[in-house]
A and B are shown apart, each in its own frame.
Chain A
Amino acid sequence: MKRTVQLAIASAVVLSVLTACSTAAAPEGTEQDPDAPITVWVDATRNDSAVALAEAQPELNATVESVDNTQGAISSRIALATRAGEGVPDVVFLSSPDEIATLLANPVNYPLALTGQVDDAVLDGFAAGSVDRCTYEGVAYCLPNDIAQTVLYYNKTLFDQFGYEIPTTFDDFLALGETVAAENPGYSLGTINSRYGLDALYGSSGCQYNHATSATEVIINVETEACTRVNDVVGPLVANGTLSTLDPFDPVFTPIVTEGRLLAFIAPSWMGEYGIKPNYATEGDYAVAAMPKWAGADTNLSGAVGGGIWLVSATSKNQAAAIAFATAMATDPAIAGAGATYPADSASAEAWLGTVASDPWYAEDPSSVLKDAAGKVSTTLGYVRYQTQALDAYNATIGSEAGADIDAALLAFGEQVTAAATSAGYTVIAQ
């Protein structure tokens, strides 16, 4: 009996401590201090340029930290810091931009509304549509860093050698895949793994699975022609092996790149600099062609795979310095124009394209194709809180079907993604 009482008292003490912990709210840190130091979280790729900026502008008093940028890692770290009430970064770079949707909602409420805080000229300087993707109810919450517009990478030397034409429509692309499988088996047209299939192909076709119209509403409908026409291309080409279901960086796939068997690849604009070039150094082979047009589509829209964004904390004590840092990273041609990714800021993009245009690795100057595609990312691609689930659902259905029953897989994908959206607090509209 005595022990029961002791246990009860102990439990009561523990519970009261817990309650105290859970109700300790984060301080309202909006009081501004122009001398307050700022903390900046970036991924490993942007660490050096961020450190250089912090050193070049000591008045910003910025500390740069390189953090794990795998999908969901940064938003969960910010959520924990917010809950702890300390250690919330003033500026953060998201290489998975969809995480903004999570950070914008409870319990984090991280990003600062930038419209009005940042010069309109800065916001207007970004590629068409790039700021729109992180604009909610007319207010922009991010500075786009880079555009991951998809284009068609192809090995010009091999195309000439085999006598193939560059596909301008996806009907051509399908025909090319069937020819390659018959004439040159072992050569690849890339992969449809995860976002390289979902966001690049289904996304470019306007298939609606994450078409967010607000922070709480999303259009999902996978039974439209915009989705089924992708199936008609992906299904046969996965089945005949010209499209792989592996990640492009998978150790089983990279030999295809290193051994020069990657004939073509519909991939984001960073794939050349970041994915193909490091594994295939031969100059003058790869070129970039415009995205093929889907059957029945008005124009050749691009998908997007990634495309980093900069956010500023709403609880930053020095918003002016934080905004200045993020703005410089996103729009200074000397910084944004020197990275591996296509800058969202138009002036920086010119600088970037200037470097790429004279790069002997490319068989032809890719700048006009990349520039054209930058403004043509499909507006049906949105940033949603269930992006991880959407990719999981895609891999478990369309990705794992290996082209066998891809139409049933698409319907199953639609069901899962609708459930995921509902669970994430969206009202799903099936238009």
Chain B
Amino acid sequence: MTNSNSGLRTKRPRSPGWGFIAPYAVLLIAFGITPALFGIVTAFVVTPVFGDSYISLTENFRAVLTDYRFTIAAGNVLLYLAIWLPALIVVVFTISLVIDTKKTRFASFTRFVSYIPGAVTGSAAALLWLFMFSPAVSPVGPFLSNFTGSNGIIVSDGSLPIILATMGVAAGAGGWIVLLVGALTAIPRELIEAAKIDGANVWSTIWHVKLPMVRNYLAFILIVSVAAGFQVFVEPQVLGAGAQGQVSSTWSINQIVYAYATGESNYGRASALSIVLLAVCVLIAVIVLRKTRFYSIGDE
């Protein structure tokens, strides 16, 4: 960010860095930037049911933001994030602290075990969880029977935020624990010892030393999770297909995008809503980055 930094950078030979990012850059342009630009163009093309298409700056955006499904889906996703994000951060931070504090030979085993559920992702994970949440076939069926609706099953529009949050923590926590344990291990021992000498007990060490030192990592977890959570798609889609008629096909915002693009063949509206979603995620990322000074890590 500072002048001295950029001055330093220009003196270094550039080629190795470019070499490393080139393969990624190609994929980013082909599957990230180009579709996004295409989407931006398409978002302004209005295709009426009959008659010629025309350009309008606002019509698609107005149509998608006033769609009755948008409010419902936004509420669903926000509720899901409100349950999932705090749970994820608490679980990740707690387990990481325990692993970091109690450096027994079980530490690596615990880390491995917590990482395992993350190995099954996407639609496969959703299918697995569909069975987990079906009282008739679930290994924890008798326990689940306390939570079934009057129709005898658990998966429904209303229960989905909690189900997705459970899936999200189980599948997502492991990877972040590995990251955070690394970050906690990197905290200089002298710092912890100094705190102890100053009379800090375990809790104040955690609260006043460890937490501030890994705050940026938690922020990073938060950004990535918010972006992923806002775009939740596969899980409600698969759970909905498994429990026919119990989950709206437009439960999440991204599913509305999918419905516009496929069932309704309305690419203009699909693009418009995608862009709204992109803008929200970018905005959240910027706010969190600013507040946590994520890129100022070297200055501290």
Contact = CB atoms under 8 A, between A and B. Distances in A.
Nearest to B243: A250
Nearest to B156: A400
B249 interface: yes
Contacts of B137: 251
Nearest to B246: A395
Contacts of A415: 68
Interface stretch (A71-79, A260-268, A298-306, A367-375): A71-79
A385 interface: yes
Interface residues of B, number: 46
Contacts of B250: 389, 392
Contacts of A106: 47-51, 53, 265
Given A14-B37, A252-B136, A420-B68, A396 B264 contact: no
A252 B153 contact: yes
A76 B263 contact: yes
Interface in B246-265: 246, 248-250, 259, 261-265
Interface string B26-54: 00010001100110011001011111010
Contacts of A392: 248-250
B152 interface: yes
B67 interface: yes
A313 interface: no
A390 to B, nearest CB: 11
A232 to B, nearest CB: 19
B150 interface: yes
B263 A75 contact: yes
B37 A11 contact: yes
B246 A402 contact: no
Interface string A371-413: 0000000000000010011011001100110100000000000
Q: Which residue among A11, A216, A252, A419 has the maximum number of chain B CB atoms within 10 Å of its CB?
A: A252
B186 to A, nearest CB: 34
B245 A416 contact: no
A252 B149 CA distance: 12
Given A14-B37, A76-B261, A396-B157, A425 B48 contact: yes
A22 B157 contact: no
Given A245-B151, A400-B157, A419-B68, A194 B33 contact: no
Contacts of A249: 244
B245 A399 contact: yes
Contacts of B157: 396, 400
A407 B41 CA distance: 44
B134 A251 contact: yes
A319 interface: no
Given A18-B34, A246-B153, A251-B137, A216 B264 contact: no
Interface string B114-156: 0000000000000000000011110000000000011111001
Nearest to B131: A251
B88 to A, nearest CB: 28
Contacts of A389: 69, 250, 259
B63 interface: yes
B233 interface: no
A396 B157 CA distance: 8
B267 interface: yes
A215 B48 CA distance: 13
A420 B260 CA distance: 12
B15 to A, nearest CB: 16
Given A22-B42, A193-B244, A251 B261 contact: no
A107 B265 contact: yes
Contacts of A388: 249, 259, 263
A141 to B, nearest CB: 14
A11 B136 CA distance: 55
16 contacts: A102-B264, A102-B265, A105-B50, A215-B49, A241-B150, A247-B245, A250-B244, A252-B151, A255-B136, A385-B264, A392-B249, A399-B245, A416-B68, A423-B63, A424-B264, A425-B50
Given A79-B262, A216-B49, 13 more contacts: A14-B37, A21-B38, A76-B263, A102-B265, A107-B265, A215-B49, A250-B244, A255-B136, A385-B264, A389-B69, A391-B245, A395-B248, A419-B68
